[in-house]
């Protein structure tokens, strides 16, 4: 064996290598960020460019007739489904958040928290199928507003519980202690101290959950069904139309009128989701800026 | 005394309400199991290991098989769905993990101040776009682009020496398109979590690196990223779980293949979630109800897989001290 002298590259070679490796990495990071930004902007402009010309006044004033007409029933249906889901999920979710933040140290609470984290991961189509076999078939409600809303509420619950738990945790302990020192029972500590001081982050979480619910399709396919008519006040036994259904089912039809409706629905739902998302973020940023 | 009582009543009430969350998980499992039971006894293990979704002869009288009433020649095997689900999610991760990590580095280290806020906001908005809007975009933009231009080119270049890229490249509906779309949908999760973790790294670590003469990127690569290994693993598994359950976007671009395994990366496939969404209408035509039970079995299977994946992800994140 002939001993081989280790080859040490020249110092400026090492220097150049490091410079090049750095440059390549920075380039790769910038490119991948640019790609993600481009895709987002492309989706948004695509939806806007195709949806805006399709947005006539008629869209807001007439109901869908087969594959033509307007979207009034779907707009109202989307708002009703998500609104009712919110009414169900907010009290439960915020109370669960209070419990997990105030009494979250024990084993039971830890298990509950872990399981509600897991519940976030249950696919929404599974929730939809669950709603179908229990409420639509089991209770005999058929495709209906209530079945759709309860399914959406189950989906929103863990989000709301999680965000409100975090919000309540951030309230300084000293505030609670001063209230207890004055003899307040726990109920009024929660109502008068925790809820008011954490209301903005709690509201942010609720708005985010609302944005998710508005954009959902899968859990509603077999719980809310579809209807060409405006909601007639029935909670069960009547299908409800909603915007996301229009997008997925009408775009597959071979008619221009159906495509126009799908584009309009996509624009409307995207605008609503973005507006809610944006206002939730602004609310939080302003609240943080003001300082507590 | 009254106060003590009301305090505990309040606390018990809160506890009971909080209990609704884990309870709903339990109720979902129990009801799905109940609905799927006839299908589980009829199908046995064969459900997982062969490719056949056959409701049987609709016009014949039902027969009794293994104690269950089914249509003659009914046969259910969903291997193709399990494979389709796992492969699309895997492709999504192969794309989303590097892009997520790189853009997180760019956001945390390359930008600062308002630019960072704006950039992070853009990436997080990707997660806010509804699934069905992704589906619409995939159907109208991605499929023509990939099917007409990118896939034929991939087939000519990569396909000549990598077997899975071997043609025919088809119409654009299929495995790779679904994977790409899913990748865009889960990338914000990875990017946002890692960006937050990088921003929160103690500055002493950066200073230590800088005092050794390391450049900014060398600090990121050799000090900061290795420290976030568990976070990256945990978030990746979490993203996998999310990709497994995505329905609408996959439904609109996957080609909805029935009973066949993909032969190359362009082939049409279907996933468990998309299949449930697309098949209930026809399953309801089965007078014995076995098709609806079999769909419940798919839902149960999907739920079990996602819960396991999610539980694993939470476990890894919990071990690494994160709770995302």
- Per-residue pLDDT of B203-249, as tens digits, reads 898 899 889 888 888 898 888 999 888 899 999 999 999 999 999 99
Question: Is there a domain that residue A213 lies in?
Answer: yes
Quick one: pLDDT at residue A120? 86
Sign of CA dihedral B186, B217, A27, B117: positive
C-alpha distances in angstroms, B266 versus B234, B307, B322?
29, 29, 37
Quick one: pLDDT at residue B4? 55
Quick one: pLDDT at residue A290? 66
Confidence category of residue B1, pLDDT binned at 50, 70, 90: very low
Of B7, B125, B276, nearest to A185 by CB-CB distance is B7
Quick one: pLDDT at residue B141? 93
- Angstrom distance (rounded) from CA A197 to CA A190: 10
CB neighbours of B172 closer than 8 A, spacing ≥ 6? B142, B143, B144, B145, B146, B147, B148, B151, B266
∠ CA B301-B303-B304, nearest 5°, is 65
- Per-residue pLDDT of B140-190, as tens digits, reads 999 999 988 888 888 888 878 888 888 787 888 989 999 999 999 999 999
- Angstrom distance (rounded) from CA B89 to CA B93: 6
CB contact under 8 A, A133 and B31: yes
- b/e sequence B43-55, b meaning 16+ C-beta within 10 Å: beeebeeeeebeb
Do B15 and A103 meet the contact criterion of CB atoms below 8 Å apart?
yes
Quick one: pLDDT at residue B52? 81
From chain B, pick out residues whose CB is under 8 angstroms from the CB of A24. none
- Per-residue pLDDT of A207-221, as tens digits, reads 999 999 999 998 999
Question: Is there a domain that residue A11 lies in?
Answer: no
CB contact under 8 A, A120 and B310: yes
CA-based diameter of chain A, in Å?
93
CB contact under 8 A, A157 and B24: yes
pLDDT for B139 beyond 80: yes
pLDDT higher at A144 or B55: A144
Q: How many CB atoms lie within 10 A of CB A14?
A: 11
From chain B, pick out residues whose CB is under 8 angstroms from the CB of A166. none
pLDDT for A26 beyond 60: yes
The distance in angstroms from the start CA to the end CA of chain A is 74
- Per-residue pLDDT of A85-125, as tens digits, reads 999 999 999 999 998 888 877 888 888 888 888 888 899 99
Q: How many CB atoms lie within 10 A of CB A115?
A: 19
B208 touches chain A (CB under 8 A): no
pLDDT for B324 beyond 50: no
Question: Is there a domain that residue A93 lies in?
Answer: yes
- Angstrom distance (rounded) from CA B128 to CA B134: 10
From chain A, pick out residues whose CB is under 8 angstroms from the CB of B310. 117-118, 120-121
Quick one: pLDDT at residue B3? 55
From chain B, pick out residues whose CB is under 8 angstroms from the CB of A120. 310
From chain A, pick out residues whose CB is under 8 angstroms from the CB of B295. 129
Quick one: pLDDT at residue B19? 84
| Structural tokens at position B132 | 């069905």
Question: Is there a domain that residue A131 lies in?
Answer: yes
- Per-residue pLDDT of B247-276, as tens digits, reads 999 999 988 888 888 888 888 899 999 999
Lowest mean pLDDT among A53-62, B68-77, B190-199: B68-77
Question: Is there a domain that residue A126 lies in?
Answer: yes
CB contact under 8 A, B310 and A129: no
Share of chain A above pLDDT 90, in %: 45
Count of domains observed in chain A: 1
CB contact under 8 A, B32 and A221: no
Instruction: Give the mutation candidate from B3, B102, B314 for the A interface (greatest A CB count, under 10 A).
Output: B102
- Tell me the shortest Cα–Cα distance from B281 to chain A, in angstroms: 9
> Which residues pair with residue B255 across a beta bridge?
B269
Quick one: pLDDT at residue B147? 87
Question: CB pairs below 8 Å between A and B: how many?
Answer: 258
- Tell me the shortest Cα–Cα distance from B145 to chain A, in angstroms: 13
Q: Give the helix/strand (H/E) hosting B77.
A: strand B75-78
From chain A, pick out residues whose CB is under 8 angstroms from the CB of B15. 99, 103, 108
Total residue length of chain A: 292
- Angstrom distance (rounded) from CA A167 to CA A147: 30
B305 touches chain A (CB under 8 A): no
- Per-residue pLDDT of B57-105, as tens digits, reads 777 777 777 777 777 777 888 899 999 999 999 999 999 999 999 999 9
Of A33, A95, A214, nearest to B14 by CB-CB distance is A95
Quick one: pLDDT at residue A291? 52
CB contact under 8 A, A33 and B102: yes
Domains of chain B: 77-319 (1.10.3720.10)
- Tell me the shortest Cα–Cα distance from A125 to chain B, in angstroms: 6
The distance in angstroms from the start CA to the end CA of chain B is 41
Question: Is there a domain that residue A104 lies in?
Answer: yes
- Per-residue pLDDT of B104-135, as tens digits, reads 999 998 888 888 889 988 988 998 999 999 99
Question: Is there a domain that residue A99 lies in?
Answer: yes
Of A115, A122, A262, nearest to B303 by CB-CB distance is A122
Find the mean pLDDT for residues A244-260. 88
Domain at A144, CATH number: 1.10.3720.10
Name the residue in chain A with its Cα closest to that of B30: A130
From chain B residues 38-97, the ones with a CB under 8 A of any chain A CB are none
Name the residue in chain B with its Cα closest to that of A263: B136
Question: Is there a domain that residue A274 lies in?
Answer: yes
- Tell me the shortest Cα–Cα distance from B56 to chain A, in angstroms: 22
Q: Which domain holds residue A242?
A: 57-290
Quick one: pLDDT at residue B100? 95
Quick one: pLDDT at residue A32? 94
C-alpha distances in angstroms, B214 versus A272, B107, B221?
47, 20, 10
Quick one: pLDDT at residue B154? 87
CB contact under 8 A, B247 and A29: no
């Amino acid at each position: 064996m002939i001993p081989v002298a280790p080859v040490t590259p020249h110092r400026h070679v090492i220097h150049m290598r490091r410079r090049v490796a750095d440059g390549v990495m920075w380039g790769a990071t910038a490119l991948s960020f640019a790609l993600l930004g481009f895709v987002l902007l492309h989706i948004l402009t695509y939806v806007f460019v195709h949806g805006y010309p399709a947005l006539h006044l008629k869209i807001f004033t007439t109901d869908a007739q087969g594959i033509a007409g307007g979207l009034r029933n779907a707009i109202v249906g989307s708002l009703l489904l998500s609104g009712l889901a919110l009414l169900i999920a907010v009290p439960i979710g915020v109370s669960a958040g209070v419990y997990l933040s105030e009494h979250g140290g024990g084993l039971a609470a830890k298990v509950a928290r872990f399981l509600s984290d897991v519940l976030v991961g249950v696919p929404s189509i599974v929730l939809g199928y669950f709603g179908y076999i229990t409420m639509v078939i089991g209770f005999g409600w058929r495709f209906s507003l209530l079945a759709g809303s309860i399914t959406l509420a189950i989906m929103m619950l863990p989000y709301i519980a999680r965000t409100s738990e975090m919000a309540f945790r951030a309230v300084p302990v000293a505030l609670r202690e001063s209230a207890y020192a004055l003899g307040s029972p726990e109920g009024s500590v929660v109502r008068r101290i925790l809820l008011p001081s954490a209301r903005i982050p709690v509201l942010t979480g609720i708005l985010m959950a609302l944005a998710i619910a508005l954009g959902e399709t899968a859990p509603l396919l077999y719980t809310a069904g579809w209807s060409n008519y405006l909601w007639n006040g029935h909670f069960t036994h009547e299908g409800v139309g909603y915007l996301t259904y229009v997008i997925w089912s009408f775009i597959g039809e071979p008619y221009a009128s159906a495509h126009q409706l799908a584009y309009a629905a996509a624009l409307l739902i995207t605008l609503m989701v973005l507006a809610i998302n944006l206002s939730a973020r602004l609310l939080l940023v302003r609240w943080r800026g003001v300082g507590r | 005394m009254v106060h003590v009582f009301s305090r505990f009543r309040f606390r018990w009430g809160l506890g009971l309400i909080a209990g609704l969350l884990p309870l709903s998980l339990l109720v979902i499992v129990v009801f799905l199991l109940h609905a799927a039971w006839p299908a589980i006894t009829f199908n046995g293990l064969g459900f997982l290991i062969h490719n056949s979704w056959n409701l049987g002869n609709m016009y014949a009288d039902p027969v009794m098989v293994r104690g269950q009433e089914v249509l003659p020649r009914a046969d259910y095997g969903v291997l193709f769905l399990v494979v389709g689900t796992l492969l699309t999610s895997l492709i999504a991760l192969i794309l989303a993990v590097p892009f997520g990590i790189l853009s997180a580095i760019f956001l945390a280290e390359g930008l600062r101040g308002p630019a960072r806020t704006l950039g992070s906001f853009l990436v997080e908005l990707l997660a806010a776009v509804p699934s069905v809007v992704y589906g619409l975009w995939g159907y109208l933009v991605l499929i023509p682009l990939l099917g007409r231009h990118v896939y034929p080119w991939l087939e000519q270049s990569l396909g000549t020496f990598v077997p899975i890229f071997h043609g025919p490249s088809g119409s654009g509906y299929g495995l790779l398109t679904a994977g790409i779309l899913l990748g865009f949908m889960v990338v914000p999760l990875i990017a946002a979590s890692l960006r937050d973790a990088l921003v929160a790294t103690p500055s002493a670590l950066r200073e230590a690196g800088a005092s050794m003469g390391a450049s900014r990127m060398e600090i990121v690569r050799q000090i900061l990223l290795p420290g976030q290994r568990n976070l990256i693993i945990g978030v990746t598994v979490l993203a996998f779980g999310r990709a497994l359950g995505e329905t609408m976007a996959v439904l609109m671009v996957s080609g909805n293949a029935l009973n066949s395994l993909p032969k190359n990366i362009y082939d049409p496939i279907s996933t468990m979630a998309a299949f449930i969404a697309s098949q209930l209408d026809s399953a309801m035509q089965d007078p014995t109800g076995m098709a609806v039970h079999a769909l419940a079995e798919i839902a149960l299977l999907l739920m079990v897989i996602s819960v396991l994946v999610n539980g694993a992800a939470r476990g890894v994140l919990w071990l690494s001290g994160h709770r995302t």
